[in-house]
Amino acid sequence: MFTLAMRSVRQRPGRFVATLLSTFLGAVVVMTFNSMHDTASAPGIDALSKETLTIAASVVGGYGTFLVFFAVASTLTVNVRQRGEEIALLRRSGATPAQIKRMVVFEAVAVAVVGTVLAFGPAMLGGDRLLVLFKDTDQVAQGVDFSFGPIAVASGFAITLVASVGAAFLAVRRAAKVAAGGAKPRGRGKNLAGAAAFVLGIGGVFSTFALDKSDVALMAGPVYGAILLAAGFAILSPAILRLVLGALARPITALTGASGYLTVHNMRRRASELSGVLMPLILFIGIACATLYMQAIQSDAAKASGIAPTGEDKNVETLNYVVVGIIVVFSCIMLINSLYAATTYRTREFGQQRLAGATPAQVLGMIALESVILTVTGVFFATVAAVAGVVPFSMVRVDTATPDQDLGIWLVVVGIGAVATIATSVGTAYRGLRTPAVDAVTLAA
């Protein structure tokens, strides 16, 4: 199976581009921040600089690990589903489910190793720029030199490999069972993971009320609570999407006609696949809004008190903005990556719909409407997760559940997510529709 996996990667490298990009970006994030551990462990570093570097590496390294797994899982899931016929052929040829799982895992490992090696240069550059940022804000002494060493390298390989192996195993398990003629897995593990995320998220949110408004760690509980709630919605996104479609099917069809009918039919059938789009969208909007609003509340409260911010306050603020910046870039690329891979795969489906009588405009309208439904669904549940963290933080920090901040932050974050979702889906579909319907069906078969 190892030989077969390597042959598959060499013969058809295009199918692994999305996964390679996900592992590459994940390794860049992980190694960039873990290089702060290497820098902090160098001899002669003062205590304040060491604390700043260690906190940055620990906090953002945790975010990075979380995002890497979701990124790799979403792209690998799309990759494996696109290969359903190939997996079924291998099963008919005598391959066992265990052999197919090993093949896909070997492929994922090979791609993860390549992605991590390619990430070395950008991670070194990113770590150096991050250290300069800390120096410019007087959080790290000017004499501290950047170091990219064993901690960054080991964490990069370890995290991307573990994420790739775990995501590959979960993605291929379902495909192998279906190819063998069995029923689709019921997703009990996913439901349990989603429920656990909700329970832990609620616990994190309510932990805010156990702290004083002057506590340095006040923001930690609601931020992590909002992140876990967003993760819970992301994990359970297939079920959420089915509920949304069940409630809106008739109004959508009545208002939009043929395109609406095609949209509802396809989204119901492909709810599990489309969850790969909802995941990064919910995480991006939920985490970005929660962190930015809490930091804005914190900064305005500090200004109103007339107390000059301490070095620790500056450290927290810098970390929050850096974290959000990384989430914006990483999640948007992950979103675009997943959408492009999923929509490109549907070229044959578009051809079949056109041969059945649908016009290119109707198919494009279906994709546009599908993107709007995904965007609205993602925005709603991401906003719920963010508000669940922001309101308790505001109640403790400034004694009100409705802080003074306006909708500006929310509108910017939602706008980025909406543009990325709709533009990528419609643009990729338009490109696919330029292929004649007969050729699209024949070439993709």
Please state the three-class secondary structure of 297-340 as a single string.
HHHHHHHHHCCCCCHHHHHHHHHHHHHHHHHHHHHHHHHHHHHH
CB 343 within 8 A of CB 237: no
Which amino acid is residue 418, in one-letter code? A
Ranges of the chain whose pLDDT falls below 70: 1-16, 60-66, 78-79, 81-85, 173-187, 258-259, 276, 311-312, 315-316, 320, 323-324, 327-328, 443-445
The pair of structure tokens assigned to 364 is: 């494009």
CB 385 within 8 A of CB 226: yes
Using alpha carbons, select from 74, 97, 80 the residue that is nearest to residue 163: 74
User: Cβ neighbours of residue 193 under 8 Å, at least 6 residues apart?
Assistant: 235
Q: Which two tokens stand for residue 207?
A: 């932990």
**pLDDT value of residue 124:** 94
Residue pair 207/221 in contact by the 8 Å Cβ criterion: yes
- Contact between 108 and 168 under an 8 Å Cβ cutoff? The reply is yes
Q: How far is the CA of 386 from the CAs of 56, 293, 297, 419, in angstroms?
A: 22, 9, 14, 20
Q: What is the pTM (predicted TM-score) of this model?
A: 0.77
Distances (CA, A) of 394 to 183, 300, 409: 48, 11, 16
Per-residue pLDDT, 2: 47
- Report the half-sphere exposure of 272 (CA within 13 A, side-chain side): 14
Query: 392 with 228: CB under 8 angstroms?
Result: no
Vertex 172, ends 169 and 174: CA angle to 5°?
115
Q: 279, 323, 285, 289: which is closest to 72 by C-alpha?
A: 279
CA pair distance 72, 23, nearest whole angstrom: 6
Q: Do residues 88 and 94 lie in contact, with contact meaning Cβ atoms separated by under 8 Å? A: no
> Distance (Å, rounded) from C-alpha 216 to C-alpha 213?
8
Q: What's the confidence (pLDDT) of residue 213?
A: 85
Name the residue with tokens 């609601």.
222
How far apart (Å, rounded) are the C-alpha atoms in residues 246 and 215? 45
CA-based max dimension of the chain: 74
DSSP SS3 for 261 = helix
**Which letter does DSSP use for residue 42 in this model?**
S
Q: Is 42 left (phi over 0), alpha (psi -120 to 50) or beta?
A: beta
What is residue 97's predicted lDDT score, i.e. its pLDDT? 73
What is the helix, strand, coil percentage profile of the chain, to 5?
Answer: 85, 0, 15
Task: Please give the sequence-ordered ranges of beta strands (E in DSSP) within 92-234, or none if there are none.
Answer: none
Residue 184: strand, helix, or coil: coil
**Residue 429 has which token pair?**
């579909």
**CB of 28 within 8 A of CB of 126?**
yes
Whole-number Å distance between alpha carbons of 85 and 342: 16
